[in-house]
Amino acid sequence: MAFIRYQTVRNIGIGVLGAGAIAGIVVAASGSSTPTPAPTLVSTPTPASAPSRTPAPAVTPTVALDDATIAARGDQPASPGEKIKDAFKGNPTKVNLYEETQDTRYDRLKIDANRDDVWDVQWTRDDAGRWQREDGQVMLDGHWQAVPTNPQIPPTPMAAPTPSTPATATTASEPFAAQLETVAKTMLEGKATSEKLKDLFRGNGPKVNLYDDDKDGRWDRAKIDFDRDEVDDEKLTQKGGFIERKSEKTGAITTWDNGVWKPKP
Ligand SMILES: [Ca+2]
Ligand SMILES: [Ca+2]
Ligand SMILES: [Ca+2]
Ligand SMILES: [Ca+2]
């Protein structure tokens, strides 16, 4: 009796085990058939990408500065040697202003149009004191214009013939006349703040280094490399209140006299 009971229990146990195994197979089988719903989960990211698109237009850009506004700010009076960092705080356009000729007019400005800490544009002053872009266009009445043939240039050689004709004529046609004038004026009027000033025009036009050899606060000489080939082309020396200019190539010497380079007497 006890044996039979055991047998029965055992048989039931086997049966349960068998059922369990079948159930296991069923589960396994059904498990293998499930991949189909899985892709639906994978495809769901589509709505998720939709909200990511929305933030972009949400950034409503404040109106970037127009050049006329920047020019107007750059035309405001400066104090000698003044440097203004970020003249339009909070605006998408970053502008730095520089006064570099020891007077009250800014000489240079730099623009970072998108505030990525990479300067995009630089303006300088042209001969007539107008803002000038790197492409040569100048700001006239709030608009960029190609430089009109300057009616101010002919009078200079016309005034010149009186002292000595040929040298002054070359001065007027000189490509770097304005920069040379700036250098001469800086040497005569500017204050030397260090023993050596490297690249007065900071990458624009000729490379000019200024030297205050005796450290008395006044510039004593300048070296000019017009084409930036690391070979100096001219040397300017301050000699008792006037500037003597010597060409390294020809050895010709001129002196700065009331706005003109005259041959040394
Ligand atoms: Ca200035
Ligand atoms: Ca930039
Ligand atoms: Ca000196
Ligand atoms: Ca050179």
pLDDT in tens, 93-115: 999 999 999 999 999 999 999 99
Yes or no: say if 185 and 210 are a contact pair by the CB < 8 Å rule.
no
Q: Does pLDDT of 206 surpass 90?
A: yes
CA of 238 to the centre of ligand 4 (A): 21
CA of 109 to the centre of ligand 2 (A): 14
The ligand that comes nearest to the alpha carbon of residue 125 is 1
Task: Report residue 141 as tokens.
Answer: 């009445």
Taking the domains of the chain in order of start, what are their residue ranges?
67-145, 155-263
Which residue shows structure tokens 């040298």? Answer: 167
Please provide the DSSP assignment of 38-62 as one string.
HHHHHHTHHHHHHHHHTHHHH--PP
CA of 261 to the centre of ligand 4 (A): 20
Q: Phi/psi class of residue 203: alpha, beta or left (left: φ > 0; alpha: ψ in -120 to 50)?
A: left
Q: Does pLDDT of 240 surpass 60?
A: yes
Read off the pLDDT of residues 69-102 as tens digits, 9 standing for 90 and up. 999 999 999 999 999 999 999 999 999 999 999 9
The DSSP letter of residue 162 is: T
Q: Does pLDDT of 244 surpass 70?
A: yes
The ligand that comes nearest to the alpha carbon of residue 92 is 2
Res 33: pLDDT: 47
CA distances from 53 to 42, 46, 58 (A): 19, 11, 9
Q: d(Cα 53, Cα 55) in Å, to the nearest integer?
A: 6
Any idea which of 127-131, 156-160, 228-232 has the lowest mean pLDDT? 156-160
Q: d(Cα 146, Cα 214) in Å, to the nearest integer?
A: 44
Provide the whole-model pTM: 0.39
Confidence of residue 177 (pLDDT cuts 50, 70, 90): confident
Q: d(Cα 33, Cα 70) in Å, to the nearest integer?
A: 69
